[in-house]
């Protein structure tokens, strides 16, 4: 019974999230002068996110509720969704629009360290919270990499920076050893932060095409090295000699 009540409570919180979504989306829509379809797109994306969250949230979380750390991550997801939906209207994005999008992305990136700290401070750390945080990070990186490509500064290869996480998940369906849990790694966290900062720099109107290519290429190389280290660890532990 408690689990059912908790899931209803989570659903109510996610519905309240529509209020923040409406505020962020309406502000973006108004400032960037997008068509009304932008508001529909962010609503659909958030609805998909909410349905996935309710489906996969573990029952044991009812012991302490959603928790403030996960609520912060949900706010980050809302900000990331407003950024991603900009991809569908990139032809209408002005210089001011790029700076506004960058500001929203920076807000989402800045909150990345906050949800982890809150989880540790309130002793509400969970594998679900860590996974949620990681998926929101990946979604934001995909959004930014698409915008960098659409800006015309960097060729399509920059999108792989945002797709590599999803490629890793797909490969896990083929090679099960990739689905094992990885130990906490500061290297992985730092590399993720670097990717976000690099993409923001690449997207900035003040950054030249050549500099964007150099920053994007270096960041992609660093990310691939980080993934290779994790894959080697997973392979060595998944197939003991």
Structural contact between residues 83 and 55, judged by C-beta atoms closer than 8 angstroms: no
What is the value of pTM for the model shown? Answer: 0.91
Distance, in Å, from the CA atom of 125 to the CA atom of 122, rounded to the nearest integer, reads 8
Give the model's pLDDT for residue 178.
86
> How does 109-138 read in b/e, with b if 16+ C-beta sit within 10 Å?
bebbeebbebbeeeebebebbbebbbbbbb
pLDDT at 91 over 50: yes
- How would residue 70 be classed by pLDDT, with cut points 50, 70 and 90? confident
Mean pLDDT, range 71-92, rounded to an integer:
93
Helices (H), 33-153: 37-56, 68-84, 95-110, 112-121, 127-150
- How would residue 241 be classed by pLDDT, with cut points 50, 70 and 90? very low
Q: Which two tokens stand for residue 43?
A: 């609503």
Distance, in Å, from the CA atom of 51 to the CA atom of 14, rounded to the nearest integer, reads 9
Q: Indicate the DSSP class of residue 93.
A: -
Higher pLDDT, 6 or 187: 187
Q: Which two tokens stand for residue 142?
A: 């995909």
Question: Which residue, chain included where needed, has tokens 């923001």?
Answer: 200
The yes or no reply on domain 2-238 and CATH 2.60.220 is no
Question: Which residue, chain included where needed, has tokens 């015309």?
Answer: 152
Structural contact between residues 220 and 161, judged by C-beta atoms closer than 8 angstroms: yes
Give the model's pLDDT for residue 1.
54
Say whether 155 sits in a helix, a strand or coil.
coil
Higher pLDDT, 115 or 86: 86
Distance, in Å, from the CA atom of 121 to the CA atom of 119, rounded to the nearest integer, reads 6
Give the model's pLDDT for residue 143.
95
pLDDT at 11 over 80: no
pLDDT at 7 over 80: no
Higher pLDDT, 240 or 36: 36
Give the model's pLDDT for residue 15.
86
Q: How far is CA 30 from the centre of its chain?
A: 24
């Amino acid at each position: 019974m408690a689990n059912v009540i908790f899931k209803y409570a989570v659903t109510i919180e996610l519905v309240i999230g529509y209020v923040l979504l409406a505020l962020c989306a309406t502000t973006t829509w108004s400032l960037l002068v997008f068509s009304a379809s932008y508001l529909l797109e962010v609503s659909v994306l958030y609805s998909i996110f909410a349905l996935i969250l309710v489906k996969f949230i573990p029952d044991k979380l009812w012991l302490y509720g959603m928790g403030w750390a996960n609520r912060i991550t949900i706010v980050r997801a809302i900000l990331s969704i407003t950024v991603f939906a900009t991809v569908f209207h990139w032809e209408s994005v002005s210089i001011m629009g790029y700076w506004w999008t960058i500001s929203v992305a920076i807000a989402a990136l800045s909150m990345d360290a906050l949800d982890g700290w809150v989880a540790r401070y309130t002793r509400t750390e969970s594998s679900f919270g860590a996974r949620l945080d990681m998926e929101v990070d990946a979604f934001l990186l995909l959004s930014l990499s698409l915008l960098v490509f659409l800006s015309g500064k960097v060729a399509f290869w920059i999108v792989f920076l945002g797709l590599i996480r999803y490629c890793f998940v797909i490969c896990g369906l083929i090679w099960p050893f990739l689905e094992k849990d990885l130990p906490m790694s500061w290297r992985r966290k730092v590399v993720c932060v670097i990717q976000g900062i690099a993409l923001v720099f690449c997207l900035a109107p003040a950054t030249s095409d050549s500099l964007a290519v150099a920053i994007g290429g270096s960041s992609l190389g660093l990310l691939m090295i980080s993934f290779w280290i994790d894959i080697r660890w997973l392979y060595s532990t998944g197939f003991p000699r």
